[in-house]
Structure 1
Amino acid sequence: MGYNIAMACDFFFPQPGGIESHIYQLSTKLIDRGHKVIIITHAYEGRTGVRYLTNGLKVYHVPFLVIYRATTFPTVFSFFPTFRNIIIREQIEIVHGHASLSSFCHEAILHARTMGLRTVFTDHSLFGFADAGSILTNKLLKFTLSDVDHVICVSHTCKENTVLRASLDPLMVSVIPNAVVAENFRPLSHPAYSNGPDNQLQNFNAQAATPLPHYLGPNDTITIAVISRLFYNKGTDLLIAAIPRILAAHPNVRFIIAGSGPKAIDLEQMLERNVLQDRVELLGPVRHEEVRDVMVRGHIYLHPSLTEAFGTVIVEAASCGLYVVCTQVGGIPEVLPAHMTVFAKPEEDDLVAATGKAIAALRANKVRTERFHDQVKMMYSWIDVARRTERVYDGISGVLSEAEFYGYDAADAASWSATRGRAGVQSFALIDRLKRYYGCGIWAGKLFCLCMVIDYLIFLVLEMLAPRENIDIARNWPEKTINKAEREREKKDSIG
């Protein structure tokens, strides 16, 4: 039996990005597995109200004020009437919020708990502990995660960061990585997707499913691709400092840079100062479906990020057959095997040296990038991500026993229950919720309790003024029927 799930986040299409892609891909795969999924996000230019995407995925674009980097103004309570209406109309059972900086996510989880719904939170980012922005974000996260059923992180580094920031029991946090649709990020010459062999040699290659290596001569031009939001945390300042040095040391190298952001002006000024317009091509913002077309123009993908929980874009680059140069920060070292990457410290000198090392390796033909696509396809699968997420839903809904969900020996059940809770037993009782919020700090705990009490009173008023029986139930999209053979094939694909 499937669940009715609402994904809540400020970040969703048409805005491009890793979180947006994650929510879309996970939702479509959960629909394939027999669940009902809707998306709740804010309105974008030209998109307000209800939209349907591929696979019957319904998106609610709620018209709220956007203040910074596609996040809505945090009103705390004014979203509740609209949210309650959507939840009742769609008969939602589980609310799954994404991203620490999403106002919609935090408010949706608060309101969902008030309405007696199970909740899950997925963290996609890393945050510090010292600056004012991180301190406020961490306190907000502690407020939200004090009353959530389970937390998912996209890497083990992200899990450690989230556990420390929100003072969580590590056993209440699962690690489920991102993935890619390998078919959408394929090299130009991959035999499985070519239009047809032109000669016997290509025909033999297609049958063997092993593409021919492409050798670079000493004078061939090597193109370095960069696709990123041009923000400080994405390492744009590091990139600006490194580009002139890389191009000066390697005459037959050029850059292709795609993306937009406040650092775009600094990048353009650097090109003008160093007269590098003929060797650096700025594409500006690109849509997600155009990312592959940009990547296949390059040989190396440069990722200078200063903080990253996972880094889906480097998996996409490797799938396209690019050699990856990236900073050794956050969860990036967990993403790809060593033969696909050259790591650098988040410093200018080390980034320049690592890029030079990658260029030398390609010219010496020491890296078999033509094999990367098939290897990435075997490592990452959205079907596997959806299945593991579904297991979390089973755990918080009580379908799995405590021993099955946590994986402990049944003989240790007594001692385990005495010291640990289990996913899915977060009480909805008002007094229990107040106890959890009160423990969040001397002053913050009292403020959180006040917010929760006000939220509960608003819920009672809404129940009286707009009774549930007066809200029309939305018709469901026709369910996809997956026969047993298809499910077995999915299982083999995700394992293989």
Structure 2
Amino acid sequence: MKILMVSWEYPPVVVGGLGRHVHHLATELATAGHEVVVLSRRPSGTDSSTHPTHSFIAEGVLVVAVAEDPPCFDFGDDMLAWTLAMGHAMVRAGIGLGKPGIGDGWVPDVVHAHDWLVAHPGIALAEYYDVPLVTTLHATEAGRHSGWVSGRVNKQVHSVEWWLANESDALITCSSSMQDEVERLYGPERIPLRVIRNGIDVGAWSFRPRAPRTGPPRLLYVGRLEYEKGVQDAIAALPRIRRAHPGTTLTIAGVGTQFEWLRERARVHRVARAVTFAGQLGHDELLGWLHGADAIVLPSRYEPFGIVALEAAASGIPLVTSTAGGLGELVVDGVTGASFEPADVDGLVEAVRAVLDDPAAAQDRAYAARERLTADFAWDVVAAETIQVYQSAKRRVRNPMGRPTIVERPLPERDPNQPV
């Protein structure tokens, strides 16, 4: 098949797990013999004079990294305007693929959009080429904000997600919990929806049993520094963990908008010296931490899937995770890891203590977690299942749609220390 993927991140521009997912899927589809073109973008804050649109072939995939247009939009301050501008540039580049002398008349069999940020180019290009639109919804705005869309920008993003879901000819989610969330929020009636789990290259995450501990316990968090990831709960739990296991440290690997706020939380809980912000780690450095730490703590309050849990399981580190979303489907409490309810700091403390109190049992659970990484998570299986969705998707007759009804609800009770 000829596949046109549209994603706001793709190597070398990677923001989080979405970019890694699209990269693995695209290259696996290319390896299977399909023609794959990925429309993505140049780094934020650049322009076409310094970073013009760049087309290149990497691992069998044609990547079209689209330059930013001249108007001044900053993602942090003008998110919706920035997104629309990015989409407009992608539409022009996507149309160019079908023009002789530019894309040599290349026409896709399907357009695959990844998340709301590429709703406009995904919908426009599927209409232009008159081919099915398949969308993977990796997360939702309501889910990221504890089920609420009370703010102006929240409502705008939610409405774009609703539009994309209902304009698609087939939908993909990465977990059953995400499937339920999408059906509840967007009600995409009569649109096929399939769960296809994220994949993992087990060979890239070598397994190593824990060596006997010779010093204070070391805990590790890996992921974005955002409120929904629950890092603040791990920091809040650390004082009590240290009372039971003196000297315990927490290393936080990742970047995000809440870095300063999380650093302040460490000061508030008087554990600033025990918390290290390591920033974004390279693969080898991250693997070293996964092999050396006593446990990885993933305290998400919202988690559509939880790819870091799979990577951690492959490396052999004991898992301590919340039951949020996909994590609750991936980790079996007492069998493959230790679990606790989202936002339950007491439960987090108990789970970490259980791991540190009995390292041998924790290692047994780590072995069990590694064994669960069956072919279900192999990228060739993920690619084959995705092709099935492409082949069965049929372009529907479009009918005019009104705007979505967004129920006005008061803000829920929030953590008084949560950043606004």
TM-score range, shorter chain: 0.7 to 0.9
CA-to-partner distance for each residue in 1:336-363, whole Å, 9 max, x for gaps?
A: 3441221112222222222212222326
* 8 Å Cα contact 2:170/2:191 also seen in 1: no
Deviation at 1:92, TM superposition (A): 2.1
TM-score (norm 1): 0.69
Q: Does 1:117 align with 2:131?
A: yes
Specify the code of the residue in structure 2 equivalent to 1:24.
Answer: H
- TM-aligned CA distance change 1:113 to 1:136, over 3 Å: same
Of 334, 347, 362, the residue aligned with 2:329 is: 334
Q: Which of the numbers 100, 105, 115 marks the counterpart of 1:99?
A: 115
Q: 1:240 pairs with 235, 239, 242, which one?
A: 235
One-letter identity of the residue aligned with 1:232: Y
**Unpaired stretches in structure 1, ≥5 consecutive residues:** 190-212, 397-423, 428-432, 444-496
**CA contact under 8 A between 1:300 and 1:324: conserved in structure 2?**
yes
Deviation at 1:26, TM superposition (A): 0.4
Superposition deviation, residue 109 in structure 1: 2.1
Report the 3-state secondary structure (helix = DSSP H, G, I; strand = E; otherwise coil) of the residue aligned with 1:174: strand
Which of 275, 282, 293 aligns to 2:288? It is 293
Say whether residues 1:387 and 2:384 are aligned partners: yes
Is the counterpart of residue 313 in structure 1 residue 308 in structure 2?
A: yes
Q: Deviations over 1:268-312 (max 9, x none)?
A: 334456664553332112245643233222121101111111010
Whether contact under 8 Å (2:91, 2:124) holds in the other structure is no
Task: State how far apart, in whole Å, the 1-side matches of 2:257 and 2:266 are.
Answer: 16
Q: Distance in 2 between matches of 1:342 and 1:182?
A: 22
Superposition deviation, residue 96 in structure 1: 0.4
Question: Which residue of structure 2 lines up, in the alignment, with residue 52 of structure 1?
Answer: 56
1: distance between equivalents of 2:200 and 2:89? Answer: 36
> What is the CA–CA distance in structure 1 between the aligned matches of 2:291 and 2:190, rounded to whole Å?
40
**1:85 and 2:101 matched:** no
Q: 3-state DSSP class of the match of 2:240?
A: helix
- The structure where helix makes up a greater share of residues is 1
Give the aligned partner of residue 75 of structure 2.
67
Corresponding letter in the other structure for 2:158: N
Give the Cα–Cα distance (whole angstroms) in 2 for the partners of residues 40 and 363 of structure 1. 48
Q: Please state whether the residue corresponding to 1:243 is helix, strand or coil.
A: helix
In the alignment, which of 176, 185, 197 is matched to residue 177 of structure 1?
Answer: 197
Matches within 5 A, 1:206-217: 214=210, 216=212
Q: Is the 8 A contact 1:319 1:377 kept in 2?
A: no
Cross-structure match for 2:418: none
| Coordinate RMSD, CA, aligned | 2.9
Q: Does residue 137 in structure 1 map to residue 157 in structure 2?
A: yes
Separation of aligned partners in 1, 2:18 and 2:220: 21
Structure 2 vs 1, CA of residues 47 and 355 (structure 1 numbering), >3 Å: closer, same or farther?
Answer: farther
**Shift in alpha-carbon separation, 1:234–1:299, aligned structure 2, 3 A:** same
- Structure 2 residue runs of 5 or longer lacking an equivalent are 407-420
Distance of 2:403 and 2:382 partners within structure 1: 32
**Contact residue 210 and residue 291 of structure 2 kept, 8 A:** no
Relative to 1, partners in 2 of residues 1:269 and 1:442: Cα closer, same or farther, differing over 3 Å? Answer: closer
- C-alpha distance in 1 between matches for 2:284 and 2:187: 38
- Displacement of 1:215 after TM fit? 6.6
Aligned with 1:331: secondary structure? helix
- CA distance, structure 2, for counterparts of residue 363 and residue 222 of structure 1: 14
SS across alignment from 1:138? helix
The structure-2 alpha-carbon separation of the partners of 1:145 and 1:351, relative to structure 1 and needing over 3 Å to count, comes to same
- Quote the residue 1:229 is aligned against: 224
| Partner residue, 1:426 | 396
Instruction: Tell me which structure has the larger Cα radius of gyration.
Output: 1
Distance 1:248 1:87, change over 3 A: farther
> Which of 245, 248, 251 is matched with 1:256 structurally?
251
Cα separation, 1, equivalents of 2:91 and 2:310? 38
Q: Residue type of the partner of 1:124?
A: H
Q: Which moved more, 1:68-77 or 1:251-260?
A: 68-77
* Equivalent residues in 2 for 1:399-438, closer than 5 Å: 424-427=394-397, 433=398, 435=399, 437-438=400-401
Once the two structures are TM-superposed, the CA of residue 245 in structure 1 deviates from its matched residue by: 2.7
Q: 1:329 to 1:11 in 2, by over 3 A?
A: same
Matched, 1:11 2:12: no
- Residue 379 of structure 1, CA deviation: 4.4
Structure 1 residue 164 and structure 2 residue 162: aligned?
A: no
Aligned residues: percent identity?
Answer: 22
SS at 1:146's partner residue?
helix
Separation in 2, partners of 1:336, 1:170 = 32
1:162 deviates by 1.0
Q: d(CA) in 2 for partners of 1:238 and 1:328?
A: 14
Report if the CA contact (8 A) 1:138-1:166 is conserved.
Answer: no
- Partner residue, 1:343: 339
Whether the 8 Å CA contact 1:42–1:63 is kept in 2: the answer is yes
Q: Which letter does structure 1 place at the counterpart of 2:391? A: D
- The alpha carbon displacement at 1:5 in A equals 1.0
Distance 1:273 1:156, change over 3 A: closer
- Where 1:389 maps in the other structure, the secondary structure is helix
Alignment of 1:1-40 (within 5 A): 3-14=1-12, 15-40=14-39
1-side partners of 2:237 and 2:57: how far apart? 41
